[in-house]
């Protein structure tokens, strides 16, 4: 899988270099600052692609003594670096736009520049869309982040095309720095969004969509002996997920049976999980009499009261570090 990612990133660097050359030629013939802003962002695509290549290469290395969870966290550094580069590009473009507004420059060959920017925008749009699709298929944050960056570049090209067309038809030179300023602001916001995603991953912020999918799998494939699941925590390392949780089982089960049930839970999740591989660290708790009213174990020799409710697991009741004694659920029909 990582070989596919490396090949894709290499291809993105080559495409980005071609598009950057096209856009700088468009700036050379037109001297338009809004065209220059588009070209500068394309340089970021090349640099970000190189960093993404290294991050994917490092993430592919197996876990070792110094990195027992593997090297997947580098992907969050990658999208953070890319976000920072995009943000700096946005600031630079805004600064350049203000300078050209104060000191306007004559423009030329706008019709030719228009077609060159359109060509670069189409290439970026197709490349970005494909990379987002492949990144999601391969569960690669780096590929997906790179694709979103490239796609945002194509969106900014649409604004550049509109601005150049307006300038060409009206001769209003002030449109050039104004359009560049707007493009820079959009790019700046895009960079901050990627930075936010990077910080969230590095700080192990809970991904509620992942929790929902795991809980849904457990509910659909629930075993009677899985009495209670709580204190669930999920950490992402590249396309691998490390899941901690507490699982309540009948107190009289043998160690061998407990081991089999824990392994069964891990296999069940991995057999149905769409976002990558999940590694479980399960702490087992013995059941208590207070569990009996929602325990589904048939013919339990230790039951002290009949089952009168079924608790459906949700993110609200599996994340807290508490058993489900006090949770109210609808009685069984």
Q: What is the pLDDT of residues 7-20, one digit of tens each?
A: 888 888 898 899 88
3-state secondary structure of 207: coil
- What pLDDT was estimated at residue 332? 41
> Which H or E run includes 103?
none
Q: Exposed, middle or buried: residue 324 (CB in 10 Å: 0-12, 13-18, 19+)?
A: buried
> Domains (ranges, CATH) in the chain?
2-202 (1.20.1510.10), 208-318 (3.30.70.1350)
Pairing relationship of beta strands 240-249 and 228-237 according to DSSP bridges: antiparallel
Q: What is the pLDDT of residues 216-233, one digit of tens each?
A: 999 999 999 999 999 988
Say how far apart CA 275 and CA 210 lie, in whole Å: 8
Say how far apart CA 228 and CA 247 lie, in whole Å: 6
- Mean pLDDT, rounded, for 70-78: 65
> Which H or E run includes 253?
none
Say how far apart CA 25 and CA 39 lie, in whole Å: 9
Say how far apart CA 33 and CA 160 lie, in whole Å: 10
Place of tokens 């592919």: 60
Q: Do 139 and 275 meet the contact criterion of CB atoms below 8 Å apart? A: yes
Say how far apart CA 315 and CA 101 lie, in whole Å: 53
Q: What is the pLDDT of residues 256-306, one digit of tens each?
A: 999 999 999 999 998 898 877 788 889 999 998 889 999 999 989 989 888
- What pLDDT was estimated at residue 247? 93
For the whole prediction, is pTM greater than 0.85?
no
Q: What is the pLDDT of residues 22-68, one digit of tens each?
A: 989 988 888 887 787 778 777 777 877 777 777 667 666 666 666 65
């Amino acid at each position: 899988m990582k070989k596919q990612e490396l090949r894709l990133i290499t291809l993105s660097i080559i495409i980005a270099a071609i598009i950057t050359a096209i856009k700088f030629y468009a700036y050379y013939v037109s001297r338009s600052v809004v065209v220059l802003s588009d070209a500068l962002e394309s340089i970021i695509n090349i640099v970000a692609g190189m960093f993404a290549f290294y991050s994917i290469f490092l993430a592919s290395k197996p876990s070792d003594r110094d990195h027992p969870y593997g090297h997947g966290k580098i992907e969050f550094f990658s999208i953070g670096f890319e976000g920072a580069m995009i943000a700096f590009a946005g600031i630079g473009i805004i600064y350049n736009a203000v300078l050209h507004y104060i000191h306007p420059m004559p423009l030329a060959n706008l019709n030719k520049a228009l077609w060159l920017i359109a060509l670069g925008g189409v290439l970026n749009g197709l490349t970005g869309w494909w990379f987002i699709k492949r990144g999601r298929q391969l569960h690669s944050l780096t590929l997906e982040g790179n694709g979103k960056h490239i796609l945002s570049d194509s969106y900014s090209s649409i604004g550049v095309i509109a601005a150049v067309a307006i300038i060409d038809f009206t001769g209003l030179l002030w449109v050039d720095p104004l359009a560049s300023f707007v493009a820079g602001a959009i790019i700046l916001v895009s960079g901050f969004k990627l930075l936010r995603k990077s910080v969230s991953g590095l700080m192990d912020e809970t991904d509620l969509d992942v929790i929902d999918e795991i809980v849904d799998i457990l509910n659909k494939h629930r075993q009677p002996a899985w009495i209670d699941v709580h204190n669930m925590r999920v950490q992402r390392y590249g396309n691998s997920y490390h899941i901690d949780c507490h699982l309540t089982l009948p107190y009289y089960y043998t160690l061998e049976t407990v081991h089999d049930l824990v392994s069964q839970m891990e296999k069940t999740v991995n057999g149905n999980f769409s976002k990558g591989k999940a590694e479980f660290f399960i702490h087992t708790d013995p059941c208590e009499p207070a569990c009996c009213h929602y325990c589904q174990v048939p013919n339990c020799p230790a039951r002290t009261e009949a089952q009168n409710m079924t608790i459906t697991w949700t993110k609200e009741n599996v994340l807290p570090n508490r058993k489900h004694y006090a949770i109210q659920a609808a009685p069984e029909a």
